[in-house]
């Protein structure tokens, strides 16, 4: 363990050390303390609707296979062969009743049990206890409104406890109408030379950069009007446990500018407000991060994504497009196109963000640069707990309060041996 992890984040003064974006031993500790213990997003149930459907992903750097078994139950296992460790399934997704390892042919059922071992009778003399060599399951798996999450830690709190008050904020993205959401199209995947925390904290609370970083994208007119008006409301909200949300005011429009989509949002507004309850008269959540690396956006694009860590200086972005399941097909397709245009790998917004995250990471390589702490002091002391919103809430729409809470939680989880008191 890195001895002085708590000294790397000073939440009270809003200062964060650059070491946490570049140093290998800190990254290794993140894999162990954060990614091997926290609840992580795997996939949406609409991606594996039928028995035998599977989806390959990662939890931290561990390859994981999410499968709906022949009986219809969803399970997740390490995607490694128990014989000599080959990656078992090489496909991104598909449907299969069993999986055979490419190296020596050990074969597993879609419920994870070891079904067959070539030459078991002669080479192993019938002495191999196959029941001991099934695929390794995750410790806990749960489904929140169609979102499938898992943790490797048997002692982690339940998913609902881990989410806490974040659950309602997830509903604002994923449960606005009857039937929730569905994934539209495939998963876009690309790699950026940036530390995973930079995109996570950007979605967590960086309302500040939007009108500046994305000025050229805004001027194209493709992405909606993000220019700040005198009437623009909003706040950054922290419902606890490191989860963070950016919200506009209830009257502020947040949707791609296509007339059909704007009309759709107008039509469903009363239904959505009734379903989500009275907090919608105060805030309109549009961006957020569920700690540590699952982010969502419902503004210029409707996307959720996972920031997969691939080393301190590398992140693999996996981005989905989503839509209300009850939305008409032409709206789903327009959302898909608008989302790719804004937040696909070559999207007008995404390119601006990636460039900044990359440079914020790469400047940490300098041993002198690394000594100068990052300033996350905006709005320090100008926030309070809002009983109705059930979240710490900034007084003004721009604040780095969520950055302080995100990194505060990071330091807590990095330094704690158990979940007690976390």
Is residue 324 part of the annotated active site? The answer reads no
Q: Are 19 and 30 in contact (CB under 8 A)?
A: no
Q: Which residue is nearest to Fe ion (CB)?
A: 353
Give me the helices (H) in 113-258, please. Answer: 159-163, 166-174, 197-205, 210-213, 215-220
Which one of the listed residues 171, 175, 214, 308 is annotated catalytic?
214
Is residue 206 part of the annotated active site? The answer reads yes
Please state the closest distance from residue 65 (CB atom) to ligand FES, in A: 14
Pick from 242, 243, 197, 205: nearest CA to 402: 205
Q: Which of residues 139-158 bind Fe ion (CB under 5 A)?
A: none
189 binds, among Fe ion, ligand FES, none (CB under 5 to 8 A by kind): none
Residues that bind ligand FES (CB under 6 A): 81, 83-84, 86, 101, 103-106
Distinct helix (H) and strand (E) counts, the chain: 10, 23
328-350 per-residue burial string, b: 16 or more CB within 10 A, e: under 16: eeebbebbbebbbbbbbeebbbb
Q: Are 94 and 100 in contact (CB under 8 A)?
A: no
d(CA 289, CA 295): 4
Please state the closest distance from residue 104 (CB atom) to ligand FES, in A: 3
Q: Which one of 111, 353, 383, 400 is in contact with Fe ion (CB under 5 A)?
A: 353
Q: Would you say 93 or 107 has its CB closer to ligand FES?
A: 107
| Contact call for residue 201 and Fe ion (CB under 5 A) | no
Which one of the listed residues 44, 69, 353, 403 is annotated catalytic?
353
Phi, psi of 14 (to 5 degrees): 70, 40
Q: Are 289 and 203 in contact (CB under 8 A)?
A: yes
Which one of the listed residues 209, 330, 382, 395 is annotated catalytic?
209
Is residue 83 part of the annotated active site? The answer reads no
104 binds, among ligand FES, Fe ion, none (CB under 5 to 8 A by kind): ligand FES
Please state the closest distance from residue 36 (CB atom) to Fe ion, in A: 29
Please state the closest distance from residue 119 (CB atom) to ligand FES, in A: 11
83 binds, among ligand FES, Fe ion, none (CB under 5 to 8 A by kind): ligand FES
Question: Strand, coil or helix: what is 416?
Answer: coil
Which one of the listed residues 4, 92, 104, 155 is annotated catalytic?
104
Is residue 214 part of the annotated active site? The answer reads yes
Q: Would you say 106 or 410 has its CB closer to ligand FES?
A: 106
Please state the closest distance from residue 89 (CB atom) to Fe ion, in A: 34
Pick from 255, 272, 298, 282: nearest CA to 397: 282
Q: Are 236 and 246 in contact (CB under 8 A)?
A: yes
Q: Which residues contact 314 (CB under 8 A, 6 or more apart)?
A: 191, 192, 193, 194
Report the catalytic residues: 104, 206, 209, 214, 353
Q: Which residues of the chain form contacts with Fe ion (CB under 5 A)?
A: 353
């Amino acid at each position: 363990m890195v001895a002085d992890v708590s000294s790397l984040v000073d939440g009270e003064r809003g200062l964060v050390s650059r070491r946490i974006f570049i140093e290998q031993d800190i990254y290794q500790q993140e894999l162990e303390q954060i990614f091997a213990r926290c609840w992580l997003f795997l996939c949406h149930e609409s991606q594996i609707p039928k028995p035998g459907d599977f989806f390959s992903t990662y939890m931290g750097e561990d390859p994981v296979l999410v499968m709906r078994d022949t009986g219809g139950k969803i399970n997740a296992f390490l995607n490694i062969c128990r014989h000599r460790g080959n990656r078992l399934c090489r496909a991104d997704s598909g449907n299969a009743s069993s999986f055979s390892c490419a190296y020596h042919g050990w074969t597993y059922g879609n419920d994870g049990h070891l079904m067959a071992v070539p030459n078991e009778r002669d080479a192993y003399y019938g002495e191999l206890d196959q029941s001991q060599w099934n695929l390794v399951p995750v410790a806990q798996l749960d489904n929140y409104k169609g979102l499938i999450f898992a943790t490797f830690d048997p002692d982690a709190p339940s998913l609902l406890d881990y989410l806490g008050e974040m659950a309602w904020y997830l509903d604002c993205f994923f449960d606005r109408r009857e039937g929730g959401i569905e994934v539209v199209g495939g998963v876009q995947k690309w790699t950026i030379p940036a530390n995973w925390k930079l995109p996570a904290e950007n979605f967590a609370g960086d309302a500040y950069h939007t009108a500046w970083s994305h000025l050229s994208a805004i001027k194209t007119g493709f992405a909606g009007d993000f220019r700040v008006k005198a009437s623009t409301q909003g706040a950054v909200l922290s419902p606890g446990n490191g989860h963070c949300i950016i919200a506009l005011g209830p009257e502020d429009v947040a949707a791609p500018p296509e007339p059909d989509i704007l009309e759709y949002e107008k039509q469903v507004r009363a239904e959505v407000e009734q379903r989500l309850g009275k907090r919608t008269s105060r805030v309109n959540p549009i961006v957020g991060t569920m700690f540590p690396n699952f982010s969502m956006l419902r503004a210029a694009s409707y996307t959720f994504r996972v920031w997969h860590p691939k080393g301190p200086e590398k992140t693999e972005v996996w981005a989905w497009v989503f839509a209300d399941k009850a939305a008409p097909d032409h709206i789903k397709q327009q959302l898909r196109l608008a989302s790719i245009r804004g937040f696909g790998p070559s999207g007008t917004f995404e390119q601006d963000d990636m460039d900044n995250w990359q440079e914020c990471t790469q400047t940490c390589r300098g041993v002198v640069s690394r000594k100068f702490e990052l300033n996350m002091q905006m709005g320090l002391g100008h926030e309070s707990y809002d009983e109705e919103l059930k979240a710490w809430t900034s007084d003004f729409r721009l604040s780095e309060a969520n950055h302080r809470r995100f990194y505060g939680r990071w330091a807590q989880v990095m330094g704690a041996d158990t979940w007690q008191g976390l």
